[in-house]
Chains A and B, each alone.
Chain A
Amino acid sequence: MADEATRRIVSEIPVLKTNAGPRDRELWVQRLKEEYQSLIRYVENNKNADTDWFRLESNKEGTRWFGKCWYIHDLLKYEFDIEFDIPITYPTTAPEIAVPELDGKTAKMYRGGKICLTDHFKPLWARNVPKFGLAHLMALGLGPWLAVEIPDLIQKGVIQHKEKCN
């Protein structure tokens, strides 16, 4: 898994029970409820620890998700839009998170803005189906990706801060 800090954070995210994808009608509604519960708890944890770093919401069917994430570097807050679709094989396969405004700016990204995760993520996710949900995807996928890429992009001058914050 990732480092000690990430492991601790993940251990405090509630795991999910229902193994259902977007084609499973009532069971999917059940899964969606669990997703929201887990996400809400994770965001609450972050707020309490002063590490609040994202917001997410979905369409009515829960198949399209979008929101924002932010990263603090040198006392400056950088904000990015994020989005992803729930694949039909969810939760066996994790969704691919996209940060469209960084498309073309880093090698760690597929065309269209989908972030490229390390080798460790897929086996870890596969071992934890269906317990892991979107909150875990954020904590183990997007979080570490931002932590590596954003400072690098800032240092290379590829991204600039929009307005000063903090």
Chain B
Amino acid sequence: MNRLFFQPHQAGLSKVQAAEHTLRNINPDVLFEVHNYNITTVENFQHFMDRISNGGLEEGKPVDLVLSCVDNFEARMAINTACNELGQTWMESGVSENAVSGHIQLIIPGESACFACAPPLVVAANIDEKTLKREGVCAASLPTTMGVVAGILVQNVLKFLLNFGTVSFYLGYNAMQDFFPTMSMKPNPQCDDRNCRKQQEEYKKKVAALPKQEAVQEEEEIIHEDNEWGIELVSEVSEEELKKSSGPVPNLPEGITVAYTIPKKQEDSVPQVTVEDSGESLEDLMAKMKNM
């Protein structure tokens, strides 16, 4: 996904430089800060953590969210280590080696599973691996899969930051069968990362301190104290008419419905006048119209 920006005229630039140029052209109002280094080394890691803690919209404040779009396990583990230590919420994303599956994952240290809580998750492929992997070849790459994953990642970010819809903790994408599994995973109390375990303790304390909330859904009834003029709400369309203009609803799986229905042909429809053939030719009719 970190390659999606590259255009031929940018040959020679680093991935982050190309990304900045392409994105700046799309939206010049965004502020960019670019660093090109290996975050897993001791020297760079410290700088990386420092920018997460201080590189927010206001310098000195932490960032709101970290999005991981790296392409290797080691870099993800490094980001996980940093975020666990800083208590930083982040979203991890990736595309598989065979390029036909991908996923996004929301990680809130202490609240949801961190990247080290379990071995790397794999979206089940249901395909014979032998048809994809050729001996001696490393990885495949499909920018289409990456585009889809990038889209669902940003969608999840918008829902998270703007507080609408359901933010997925995990959303997978199986390109071969077009399957999008979702789930959420609790943190592992025996996670290898000390900071993850520490964050879990802090989260438990935070939850215990919250007042008990009853999740009750009430439909608010609109009540008017007085109704001097006896106003009633009546549908413009009668029940009868509504039934006549509805047709059969096709048998659809959950989550899909039709925008409207079309009734079957009925004999007892409202009588209408139909045009009749008067024997006049087209020219005649045109002339008739003209002379009106």
Please name the residue on chain B nearest to A90 by beta carbon.
B40
Interface pair A89/B138, CB less than 8 Å apart: no
Q: Is A120 an interface residue (CB 8 A)?
A: no
Known: A93-B74, A93-B77, A96-B74. Contact between A88 and B138, CB under 8 A? no
Interface pair B73/A122, CB less than 8 Å apart: yes
B-side interface size class:
10 to 19
| Chain B residues, Cβ within 8 Å of A93 | 40, 73-74, 77
What is the 8 Å Cβ interface bit string for chain B, positions 167-184, against chain A (1 contact, 0 not)? 000000000000000000
What is the 8 Å Cβ interface bit string for chain B, positions 67-86, against chain A (1 contact, 0 not)? 00000011001100100000
Q: Is B203 an interface residue (CB 8 A)?
A: no
What is the 8 Å Cβ interface bit string for chain A, positions 48-87, against chain B (1 contact, 0 not)? 0000000000000101000000000000000000000111
Expressed in whole angstroms, the Cα–Cα distance for A116 and B97 within the complex equals 13
| Chain B residues, Cβ within 8 Å of A107 | 136-138
Q: Closest approach, in angstroms, between the C-beta of B50 and any C-beta of chain A?
A: 14
Expressed in whole angstroms, the Cα–Cα distance for A102 and B29 within the complex equals 44
Expressed in whole angstroms, the Cα–Cα distance for A85 and B74 within the complex equals 12
Please name the residue on chain B nearest to A19 by beta carbon.
B192
| Chain B residues, Cβ within 8 Å of A126 | 119
Choose from B45, B73, B116, B137 the contact partner of A88 (Cβ within 8 Å). B45
Q: Does more than half of chain B's interface fall in helix, strand or loop, or is it mixed?
A: loop
Q: Is B266 an interface residue (CB 8 A)?
A: no
Choose from A23, A96, A122 the contact partner of B42 (Cβ within 8 Å). A23
Interface pair B42/A88, CB less than 8 Å apart: yes
Interface pair A92/B77, CB less than 8 Å apart: yes
Known: A92-B192, A122-B73. Contact between A87 and B78, CB under 8 A? yes
Choose from A22, A63, A89, A96 the contact partner of B78 (Cβ within 8 Å). A89
Please name the residue on chain B nearest to A116 by beta carbon.
B138
Known: A93-B74, A96-B74. Contact between A88 and B136, CB under 8 A? no
| Chain B residues, Cβ within 8 Å of A63 | 41-42
Interface pair B41/A88, CB less than 8 Å apart: yes
Which B114-154 residues have a C-beta within 8 angstroms of A? 116, 119, 136-138
Please name the residue on chain A nearest to B80 by beta carbon.
A89
Expressed in whole angstroms, the Cα–Cα distance for A99 and B42 within the complex equals 21
Most chain A beta carbons < 10 A, residue from B40, B42, B116, B136:
B42
B residues in contact (CB < 8 Å) with A: 38, 40-42, 45, 73-74, 77-78, 81, 116, 119, 136-138, 192
A residues in contact (CB < 8 Å) with B: 22-23, 61, 63, 85-89, 92-93, 96, 107-108, 116, 122-123, 126, 129
Q: Which 10 A-B pairs have the closest CB atoms?
A: A87-B40, A89-B77, A93-B74, A88-B45, A85-B41, A22-B42, A63-B42, A93-B77, A89-B81, A116-B138
